[in-house]
Structure 1
């Protein structure tokens, strides 16, 4: 019996050292954070010069397609709207 391994996808926001926000998707958030912070190889060029980066928002989604769509929605938001999204998950 072949069991299909299902990886959960996440949409996330990072707060960078220069106070900008970075949005991305991944199916391994811990590894991706280490990549963004230069602990292991990989990560985005954007975050390479803005370290350290701190996770401030995470949203679980079912598929990569859903993650990409949600990432697109979040990237189109204003900074204020992104901050509200972050604040509603904290409180």
Structure 2
């Protein structure tokens, strides 16, 4: 089976801050294009009802599967843990992960 994406093409997981203060987590292969879609309300759904949105975090991954896995993982995080990720506070991210596991 042929891959439809050129080798080395990055994929992204991202977090948007919505107008109501909530966060939206997604993944894409074209971050600028997807952000434009969200900001225009073209995707409908969650973000279209909470415009404007602002990109507050993104990370690139070598495969779509890895970006999607990051999206799913982050979606399950608490608001505090998402905010620690956005701030780049890895110590707090780690501490919040341990707290959730009961450690």
Gaps of 5+ in 1: none
CA distance in structure 2 between the aligned counterparts of 1:26 and 1:43, rounded to whole angstroms: 13
Q: 1:51 Cα deviation (Å)?
A: 0.5
Greater percentage in helix: 2
Instruction: Give me the TM-score of the superposition, normalised by structure 2.
Output: 0.76
CA distance in structure 2 between the aligned counterparts of 1:44 and 1:69, rounded to whole angstroms: 23
- What SS is found at the alignment partner of 1:18? coil
Kindly tell me the number of residue pairs found equivalent between the two proteins. Answer: 84
Match of 2:19 in 1: 17
Question: Highest CA radius of gyration, 1 or 2?
Answer: 2
CA distance in structure 1 between the aligned counterparts of 2:88 and 2:67, rounded to whole angstroms: 20
Match of 2:37 in 1: 35
CA distance in structure 2 between the aligned counterparts of 1:13 and 1:5, rounded to whole angstroms: 25
- What SS is found at the alignment partner of 2:14? strand
- What SS is found at the alignment partner of 2:88? helix
CA distance in structure 1 between the aligned counterparts of 2:6 and 2:75, rounded to whole angstroms: 29
Gaps of 5+ in 2: 90-103
4+ residue runs of structure 1 moved beyond 3 angstroms? none
Distance 1:44 1:63, change over 3 A: farther
CA-based RMSD of the aligned residues comes to 1.6
- What SS is found at the alignment partner of 1:74? helix
Instruction: Give me the TM-score of the superposition, normalised by structure 1.
Output: 0.85
Match of 2:60 in 1: 60
